[in-house]
Amino acid sequence: MLVAVVVVAFLVVPGAIYLRPTIPDEIGLRFLAAMLVLPFLPALLLGATAVWTLAVGDE
């Protein structure tokens, strides 16, 4: 699970921004808002996964 989240956070989202920079405009986000929000979403996902891993871990 953690590997999948890291791949999404470090490859998929930045790759989508790089390959299709017009995506934020298509969904109604201004450029500045998109460049602040889009990196924030994977960061939240990584944080939630870290907390989940800590809470569920048996060791």
Domain ranges within the chain, ordered by starting residue? 2-56
C-beta separation of 37 from 29 below 8 A: yes
Structure tokens at 29: 């986000």
Determine which helix (DSSP H) or strand (DSSP E) holds 39, and give its type and residue range: helix 31-56
- Written as one letter, the residue type at 59 is E
Average pLDDT over residues 2-30: 84
Predicted pLDDT of residue 59: 64
For 29-50, the pLDDT digits (tens) are: 788 887 788 788 888 989 999 8
Burial of 43 (0-12, 13-18, 19+ CB in 10 A): exposed
